[in-house]
């Protein structure tokens, strides 16, 4: 008889946690050498405890951390087996309108209702990796009014919720060794706000495919085929394929920097990559996302998020020597 322990579904990381008011996104590269790899592996077993310790200081602060690894990092740190759909970030588009791939081995997505919680946890996690990583990108994101992006439209309206969120984001029996894991794709977008604000509200709504104030999707008879909404709605076998977004605005007004940190979770990279192809290449080719006339992707990375149980177990897993 199979024991309940053997058949228990692994606990996922905090992918589907409620949306919070603050976030820090950290992308780091792994330093060369076996000592750095060993340090990162040991750190995998400490992430949950560090998150609990910081979170206890503000019990209702909803602090959480999600950790993911790129394809190259997975091979270097943990070896085989590798999650079946994990691969380097795929670039899409043409010069001047391109989803670019940028360096990144480890992703940290830290969320809370207070930035001080995010800041303290980021400090503790990075301190524990001192000498083993180089941080190549760090963004502090914030909620903007009623969950709007910097360009003024509500973001994440079509996110799946409840059981559907689990269904669309968590790996099942299609890759049993990595059940309850997920894939996450991140991009940092910078917006040309002067050009965007020069558009009328009606013109902006045609770019996005939704009304600005009420956040209602435009009817098919008036929504342009190159609107953001039209090109990021993905169907397969007659069913819409959803992803879970937890995008955050960021910026430095004094420097003229206004951006959106895109982060999308899914049980396969396929629907997110199809969205990017539609946006940057076009559907059909050339019918690209008009939002890209006002927004530029400056980073891009694909990571695998192991289940919470596997993340802890990875502390003791070393790749086999060739």
Determine whether 155 is an active site residue: yes
Residue 54 CB partners (closer than 8 Å, separation 6+): 63, 117, 120, 121, 124
Q: Are 291 and 209 in contact (CB under 8 A)?
A: no
Is the distance from CB of 183 to CB of 305 less than 8 angstroms?
A: yes
**Best CA proximity match to 107, nearest among 320, 309, 305:** 305
**Helices in the chain by DSSP H: which ranges?**
4-7, 34-44, 47-55, 71-77, 115-127, 162-169, 193-197, 201-208, 228-231, 270-280, 308-313
Residue 110's SS3 state is: strand
Dist CA 187 CA 246 (whole Å):
12
Find tokens 């008889």 and name the residue.
Answer: 1
Burial of 278 from C-beta contacts in 10 A (0-12 / 13-18 / 19+):
buried
Q: 105, 155, 166, 309: which one is catalytic? A: 155
**Active site positions, annotated:** 155
């Amino acid at each position: 008889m199979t024991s309940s322990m053997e058949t228990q579904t692994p606990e996922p990381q905090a992918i589907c946690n409620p949306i919070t008011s603050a976030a820090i996104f950290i992308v780091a590269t792994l330093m060369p050498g076996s000592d750095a790899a060993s340090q990162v592996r040991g750190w995998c077993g400490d992430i949950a405890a560090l998150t609990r310790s910081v979170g206890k200081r503000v019990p209702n602060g909803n602090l959480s951390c999600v950790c993911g690894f790129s394809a190259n990092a997975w091979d270097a740190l943990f070896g085989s087996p590798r999650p079946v759909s994990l691969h380097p970030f795929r670039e899409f588009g043409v010069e001047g309108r391109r989803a670019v791939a940028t360096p990144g081995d480890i992703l940290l997505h830290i969320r809370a209702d207070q930035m001080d919680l995010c800041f303290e946890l980021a400090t503790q996690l990075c301190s524990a990796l001192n000498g083993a990583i180089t941080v190549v990108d760090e963004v502090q994101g914030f909620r903007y009014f009623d969950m709007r992006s910097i360009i003024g439209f509500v973001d994440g309206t079509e996110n799946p919720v409840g059981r559907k969120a689990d269904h669309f984001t968590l790996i099942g029996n299609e890759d049993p060794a990595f059940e309850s894991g997920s894939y996450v794709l991140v991009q940092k977008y910078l917006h040309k706000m002067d050009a965007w604000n020069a558009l009328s509200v009606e013109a902006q709504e045609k770019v996005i495919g939704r009304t600005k104030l009420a956040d209602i999707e435009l009817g098919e008879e008036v929504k342009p085929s190159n609107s953001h909404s039209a090109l990021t709605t993905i169907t397969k076998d007659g069913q819409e394929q959803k992803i879970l977004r937890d995008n955050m605005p960021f910026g430095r007004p004094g420097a003229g920097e206004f951006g959106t940190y895109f982060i999308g979770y899914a049980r396969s990279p396929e629907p997110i990559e199809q969205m990017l192809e539609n946006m940057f290449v076009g559907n059909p080719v050339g019918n690209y996302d008009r939002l890209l006339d006002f927004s530029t992707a400056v980073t891009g990375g694909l990571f695998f998020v192991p289940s919470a149980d596997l993340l802890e177990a990875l502390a003791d897993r070393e790749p086999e020597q060739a």
